[in-house]
Amino acid sequence: MLLTTFIKSILYFTLSMISTQNINLDNKIIPENIKKEVIEAISYYPELYDTAIEFKFKNNIKKSTMQAQPRFASFFKSKENREYVILISRNIQIEGEVFTIDDIPSDVIIGWIGHELGHVMDYRNRTNVGMLIFGVKYLFSSAHIKEVERAADTYAVAHGMGDYILKTKNFILENANLSEKYKERIRRLYISPEEVMELINKNKVEEEIEIVEKEG
């Protein structure tokens, strides 16, 4: 029993070292209680190595669980040097249900963070003027909300986070305490689990083709 525990500890330490090798933690600010989940999620985004991101708890985020946005102080820097903050609600209220971050399974948190990092990937490609237009459209256009939320999911799946995104969606869509009205809003604005599976399978096929081409 002691040997098994020791081996597990060694494996966990080794995997942790491997997962952080390609992550620049010098420009990331991460709360200790979600550090494992953040490191796991961000390990799928090597492009964000040089991107400064702060993960920050907030008591309440209107209509959101998490929210990625450029840091205001860096907004007028070049898009390459822009910094970001991902706000995380301490108490997640969905209709009458209230969750704390500790109530949510680790894989679901990873999926949520992966989705927000998908937003960061999207923002990195936008100019400052483009970000201003983006913000205005997000406030007033449900079609635009659908477009950018689906884009964030697509970025996450394309980076190999499909399984986590599925778990996050199922956490909401299979929750018996949430109304069909709320679930329908999620289905309308976000990629469906079926579409996620299609993207996962498409990515696998593309990866297999790349392997065959390299071997050829």
Residues 116-144 pLDDT 10s: 999 999 999 888 888 888 878 877 778 88
Per-residue model confidence (pLDDT) at position 172? 85
Per-residue model confidence (pLDDT) at position 140? 74
47-to-15, 85, 112, 125, 213 alpha-carbon distances in Å: 21, 16, 19, 12, 24
Per-residue model confidence (pLDDT) at position 161? 95
Residue of 59 and 55 predicted with greater confidence: 55
Q: Indicate whether 162 pLDDT > 70.
A: yes
Share of the chain above pLDDT 70, in %: 81
Q: Indicate whether 18 pLDDT > 50.
A: no
Residue of 21 and 174 predicted with greater confidence: 174
**13-17, 174-178, 194-198: range with lowest mean pLDDT:** 13-17
Per-residue model confidence (pLDDT) at position 121? 95
- Confidence bin at 34 (pLDDT 50/70/90): very high
- Confidence bin at 209 (pLDDT 50/70/90): very low
Residue 46: CB partners within 8 Å, gap ≥ 6?
Answer: 22
State the average pLDDT for the chain: 81
Q: What is the mean pLDDT of residues 68-95?
A: 84
Q: Indicate whether 83 pLDDT > 80.
A: yes
Per-residue model confidence (pLDDT) at position 210? 55
Pairwise CA distance, residues 116 & 24, whole Å: 18
Per-residue model confidence (pLDDT) at position 80? 85
**8-12, 97-101, 193-197: range with lowest mean pLDDT:** 8-12
Q: Indicate whether 147 pLDDT > 70.
A: yes
Per-residue model confidence (pLDDT) at position 206? 64
Per-residue model confidence (pLDDT) at position 3? 39
- Confidence bin at 212 (pLDDT 50/70/90): very low
